[in-house]
Structure 1
């Protein structure tokens, strides 16, 4: 089966590097699917859940990603994101507290800038909680 090279860089370290069969990344205008031999391009990444199907596997693995971009060149995909977290690395209690704080702040009067900041914080917390339910990322 065809595969492509995948490298995920999260801020200061290489989060993952290896072969991949399929990849779905969150983009500002919806999810984008990437298969082997995909056309060369650059895609913006939004806060959300990236889904990865590694070489030799049929199961999908979820990870929480922050904003960034994906570069697809010559059957190699590089994701450069603010954050990337495996389900087992997520502190569920902390994510729940972050979600509650953000929801409380959303109910308060804020400037437009504060509102967007709070909205982003809430999106990150909700993504982390969704991904934490999937404990299949053991690489």
Structure 2
């Protein structure tokens, strides 16, 4: 099966750099699967899972918003953060979820509702990835 290079990069480090068979990401327009020889594309990414198929095995990462550039032989994903499912601290993600829910439920004037909603989305995404849940 043909392969392509996948690079996943955050401001801190290169999270992933290898030859793969397929990657599926959550774009701003919905989920999109990318395979070798894909037409060139640049798109925004939403909070969601990155699913990598490499040597008939799947790896899943939780990712935040960012951008993706696709070329026939290479895909580059630039995100604020990306974590492999087995590296996510579940207790920390649960605590972040609870804090965000508490902020949203408090209805005080000094709460940035959009920021709390994004924090909740990130925490829920991290928890779904750890459980291997399907992403609608």
TM-score, scaled relative to structure 2: 0.90
**Alignment-derived partner of residue 32 in structure 1:** 32
Q: Within 5 Å, give how 1:94-113 maps onto structure 2.
A: 94-109=92-107
1:129 to 2:127 alignment: yes
Is the CA contact (8 Å cut-off) linking 2:28 and 2:43 kept in structure 1? Answer: no
* Higher mean C-alpha displacement, 117-126 vs 102-111: 102-111
Q: Which residue of 2 is the match for residue 64 of structure 1?
A: 62
TM-score, scaled relative to structure 1: 0.88
Aligned to 1:48: 48
CA distance in 2, matches of 1:29, 1:116: 20
Find the aligned partners of 1:132 and 1:51 in 2 and give their Cα distance: 13
**Cα offset for 1:74?**
3.5
2:44·2:66 contact (CA, 8 Å) conserved in 1? yes
Summarize deviations over 1:1-37 as a string: whole Å, max 9, x none: 0111101112221111111111110112211111110
- RMSD of the alignment, in Å? 1.7
Task: Give ranges in structure 2 of 5+ residues lacking alignment.
Answer: none
1:133 deviation in Å?
2.4
